Amino acid sequence: MGANFVIQSIGLKAHADGSVDERWAKSAFSQARHAIAAIDQAKLTQISDEHGIAYHDVEGYQRDLQKCLAEVEQAVLGDHRQAAIVDGGGGIVLLLAGGMSWGDPPTELFEAISRLHEANVLPDARREQS
């Protein structure tokens, strides 16, 4: 089995100078916190079924997602050694995390972004563009 280079990304609104629109980002993080808190057993079962992963404990899953969100928030609003922010065009910048993988997540930030996507709790500015 060989290694693959994998990348996860989140689209964020940007200012004209290419910097992250922090007001939009903070609103997106607030929306994500509310979406995480709203996860119930039915939603958890749906996520588990869709992704072929067995999650059973709603509160534990919510805690894990809150930790993931905190890591992504630090990468966007602070500094994170596993992150890059690049121009995505059209008033959007992309938070990127990735690396070489032999079947496992290459970084903690990559895994955090993956889990937030899996739960579909964090707004992504790319989806708003359609």
Q: Phi-psi category of 75—alpha, beta or left, where left has phi over 0 and alpha has psi -120 to 50?
A: alpha
Q: Is the pLDDT score of 51 beyond 80?
A: yes
The domain in which residue 80 lies consists of 4-128
Mean pLDDT of 87-113: 91
Model confidence pLDDT, tens digit, residues 103-116: 888 889 999 999 99
Check pLDDT > 80 for residue 46. yes
- C-alpha–C-alpha distance, residues 124 and 72, integer Å: 13
Number of domains in the chain: 1
Q: What is the pTM for the complete model shown?
A: 0.89
**Which of 2-6, 16-20, 40-44, 86-90 has the least mean pLDDT?**
2-6
